[in-house]
Amino acid sequence: SLAIILVLATMRKSLALGFAPRILAVVSFITVVVAHQAMIPLNDSLPGWMSPFLANSWIHPGTESLSLLLMIGSLLSSAIVGMLGLLVFGLIHPAWRPEMLQSLTKSAKNGISLVAASACVGIIIGIVQQTGIATDFSAAIKGVVETNLFLALVGIMVCSLILGMGVPSVVCYLLMATLMGSLLGELGVLPLAAHLFIFYFGMMSMVTPPVALAGYASASIAEAPIMKTSWAAFRFSLVGFTLPYMFVYRPALLLLAPIDGQLTAFAVIHAVLAALFGILALAAGLAGWLSTRLSLLSRGLLFLSAALLLAPITHIGEYRVGLTIDITGAALFLVIAAVNWQVARVRPAEPDELVDELEPTADAAV
């Protein structure tokens, strides 16, 4: 629901570009941690990730909705066609028919809470707009940060994290977009980048201790300690804290032209490669592993490499040195990666933890 609201607010069909770096950040950190702890792969007897899609039919209602959304860009039309397709396949397919009525009833009950939450959000937004709180709040923040964009972004990040700990992500995003959207626009931030910045940190509050509601839910499902799960989720999300800043300072990552320039293929490739190497360097530095155990010096150099790659495009006088800084950061990362790869070949490191292969028990059999 939050993604749909964001699409409606920005009117962008290419919004998936904003989620790709986030997925890359999480996957990179998970890959490094798995290599560090020498985790055993899943059993081959378990179904593959495509099995749920291929088991019943190659035609999936979700595929219809996504395809229509990409082709015509209408959320309402794609949602209606997707629901009709789900209803038709549910009635035709013998395995789905008994569960269709139960699913429709459950969806209707869940929709009531969503409609009620949306109505409450509408009341709050109306109060904010009619009383002028949005203008006053934006003016107060602007008076503090003046023309410093970085301070404004840090302030909005903190407000989004704190507000998101107490209210749902949808409410947090709508309130912060209403209160701070105009301020970011006045500071020269492109609309899509501004909305994604608020959107990201509204969601990051779900994995930020001490609240971390997503960590609580995951801990209850996995029957794991709550605080350990919350802190683990926070560690896995640390790389993602840098991405919203890249959206603002490097709009080419979203295929957007900067306000004072034009969008070129070189700018897009430059932004993507800088984000890729920066995310990998930061993930390896946080995990302390890159082919082998990293020393404190290597981790410090990786953090330096990530800072150079993820930093805004820098100007010194009339000269633009962003490309030089990014090349330096990428070269530093590649040198450290090559050295550690060679060390791992000569002297394989012992992993910190070895996950013992689970034996079937009576309880599991039951």
Number of domain units in the chain:
1
Paired residues of 42 in beta bridges:
none
Which pLDDT score, from 0 to 100, does residue 352 have? Answer: 46
On whether residue 354 sits in a domain, the answer given is: no
- What is the helix (H) or strand (E) element at residue 307, kind and residue range? helix 296-310
Going by the DSSP 8-state scheme, the letter that residue 319 receives in this structure is E
On whether residue 298 sits in a domain, the answer given is: no
On whether residue 80 sits in a domain, the answer given is: yes
133-145 vs 97-131: helix crossing angle, rounded to 10 = 70
Which pLDDT score, from 0 to 100, does residue 351 have? Answer: 47
On whether residue 110 sits in a domain, the answer given is: yes
- Please, what is the end-to-end C-alpha distance for the chain in angstroms? 38
* Residue-level pLDDT, tens digit, the chain, 366 residues: 455 555 555 555 444 455 555 566 666 666 666 665 555 555 555 555 555 555 555 455 556 666 666 666 566 677 777 777 777 777 776 776 777 777 778 777 767 766 776 677 677 667 766 777 666 766 777 777 767 888 888 888 888 887 777 667 777 777 788 777 778 888 888 888 888 888 888 788 778 877 777 777 777 777 788 788 888 888 878 888 888 888 888 888 888 777 667 778 888 888 888 888 888 888 888 888 887 888 889 889 999 998 888 887 765 555 567 788 889 999 999 999 998 888 877 775 554 433 333 333 334 333
The number of C-alpha atoms within 13 Å of 111 and in the hemisphere containing its C-beta is 6
Q: Residue for token digits 């008994």?
A: 98
Structural domain range at position 68:
54-128
Which pLDDT score, from 0 to 100, does residue 335 have? Answer: 92
- What is the helix (H) or strand (E) element at residue 127, kind and residue range? helix 97-131
On whether residue 305 sits in a domain, the answer given is: no
Helix, strand, coil fractions of the chain, as percent rounded to 5: 75, 0, 25
Q: How far, in Å, CA of 177 to CA of 303, rounded?
A: 32
Which pLDDT score, from 0 to 100, does residue 361 have? Answer: 38
Which pLDDT score, from 0 to 100, does residue 67 have? Answer: 67
b/e map 88-127, b = 16+ CB within 10 Å: ebbeeeeeeeeeeeeeeeeeeeeeeeeeeeeeebeeebee
191-204 vs 169-186: helix crossing angle, rounded to 10 = 140
* Phi, psi values for residue 31, rounded to 5°: -60, -45
On whether residue 108 sits in a domain, the answer given is: yes
- Look up residue 108 and give its two tokens: 């209707």
On whether residue 198 sits in a domain, the answer given is: no
On whether residue 97 sits in a domain, the answer given is: yes
Which pLDDT score, from 0 to 100, does residue 82 have? Answer: 72
